[in-house]
Amino acid sequence: MPNCTRVIEFDAAHRVMEHESKCRNLHGHRYKIELTVAGELDSLGRVIDFGVMKSVFGGWVDQNLDHGCILFDADEDVAKLCEENGWRFFLMDSNPTAENMAELLFKKAEDLLPILKVIGLRLYETPNCWSEVTR
């Protein structure tokens, strides 16, 4: 089955609660997502228009994660700080590690692009560190 990949990038802060070193501090990254989907080719010979991937999936990322703070929902102190200052934040039901974020984004892509088979999502936290979910 043919597949295609779209890259989506965003900037966000996070912290990993109870991390044994400096990642327990609030800090930011330039995240890069590589989303790969598969499906039957349309009449033009495409799995999906890359612009649709950008507007649908990338639009969700932009509205919910970009230039915000991604937090574990147990991180009440930082969530309160964000709320008091009117800063954008997104709560996860787990620590916002690259692995947990990749899993969340994979599931979100499946929800947003239901006519396609999401076969892989790679989330780069830095240019040399990433997590990948495949099915």
Nearest by Cα to 95 from 14, 9, 10:
14
Active site annotation includes 14: no
Active site annotation includes 19: no
Split the chain (135 residues) into runs of 10 and give each run's mean pLDDT.
97 96 96 98 97 98 98 97 97 98 98 96 97 96
Of the listed 19, 40, 67, 129, which one is catalytic? 67
Q: What is the pLDDT of residue 135?
A: 87
Coil, helix or strand for 60? helix
Of the listed 14, 69, 82, 125, which one is catalytic? 125
Work out the angle at residue 14's Cα, subtended by the Cα atoms of residues 34 and 120, and round it to the nearest 5 degrees: 20
Active site annotation includes 27: no
Of the listed 23, 34, 99, 103, which one is catalytic? 23
Q: What is the pTM of this model?
A: 0.96
